[in-house]
Amino acid sequence: MNIKPSENMKLYGMKKYFDEIYKLYCEQKMPNKILLSGAKGLGKSTLAYHLINCILSTNETEKYDQEMFIIHENNRSYKLIQGRTHPNFYLIDVLDEKKTIDISQIREMIAYSNKSNFNNLPRFILIDNVENLGTNSTNALLKIIEEPNENIFFILIHNNEKNILPTLKSRCLTFKIHFTFDDCVRISNQLICGNIFDIINDDLISNYNSPGKLINLINFASVKKINIKDLSLKEIIKLLIDNSYYKKNKLIKSILIDFIELYFLKEYSITSSKNVLLDIYHNFLEKINNVEKFNLDEESFFLQLKSKLLNG
């Protein structure tokens, strides 16, 4: 199941956020700097794409369906954005081979914003994973968003599990995106047209799951032909580590880390050696941060953790 934000033609669970931001735009009160902040996998980027499409396709034949929150397959703006040829849309995200958004990407965006606009439509600059901006990139971005060219709007997508510089956050109108656990289950069920509890073992689901994380897990299990209905939390952690599924795969690595943290949480609630477990957990957090920061050997780290935490 494809849940790539730029290709999601249906928006789920975001009505109140969509309506609030779109109302600001219609009343000409929308600030030119918006920050959509929330946990990974809630659909923040999808919300941004739908808002942008709604505004840019206003005068098109197959314009955005605001009642059903649907982008029509023949929507002209959608096709142009997919082809990266829409003159009123510019995307910045972390490049595949990079860990941060490079300052050169910001400079290219500034060059785009300084060009003349050939129509009367607003221009949108979408910066996804803004927490991955480096210091130099952030400073360069601050300069342009302080005094942007007329009719240019910046929409920044922020995974709130990671920090961004306060100087950037303070310059934006922040919309904090949040779903209850029941919301996440309902949206996930709508996405799969079924019941996630028929597919995923209850042991693998926590109150911290987002729809995106649940669908990514289902997609992964489908590709690898893994029955996640019958696997316990301990079993799937071992499976992911033993088969090195996390190698060169940010998505699977994120799933694995989420499962490890869930395992710590469940073990903490039943163990009598809470201090020992806390020490292991804090050591885990420190080491996983160093592994990512300094590009250290992941395999030995996860194998050692499995041996210490799961007894082999």
Q: How confident is the model over 207-242, as pLDDT tens digits? A: 889 999 999 999 999 999 999 999 999 999 999 999
- Give the pLDDT score at 312: 55
Domain ranges of the chain: 5-176, 232-312
Judge whether 150 and 175 are in contact, CB under 8 Å: no
pLDDT reported for residue 224: 94
Supply the pLDDT for residue 1: 75
Q: What does the pLDDT read at residue 225? A: 96
What pLDDT does residue 6 have? 96
The tokens of 236 are what?
């799937």
pLDDT for residue 310:
84
Our CA angle for 57, 15, 69, nearest 5°, is 40
Write down the pLDDT at residue 249: 84
* Mean per-residue pLDDT pooled into runs of 10, the chain (312 residues): 90 97 97 95 97 97 97 97 96 88 95 89 96 92 86 96 90 96 96 96 93 95 96 96 90 92 93 90 89 82 87 66
Q: Which of 64, 12, 21, 270 is nearest to 153 (CA)?
A: 21
Q: What pLDDT, in 10s, does the model give residues 258-292?
A: 999 999 999 999 999 899 889 989 988 898 888 87
Under CATH, which number does the domain 5-176 receive?
3.40.50.300
pTM: 0.93
The 8-class DSSP code of residue 204 comes to: G
pLDDT of residue 97: 76
Query: Which candidate, 152, 158, 192, 199, places its Cα nearest to that of 175?
Result: 158
Which is nearest to 89 in space by CA: 65, 62, 113? 113
pLDDT at 199: 97
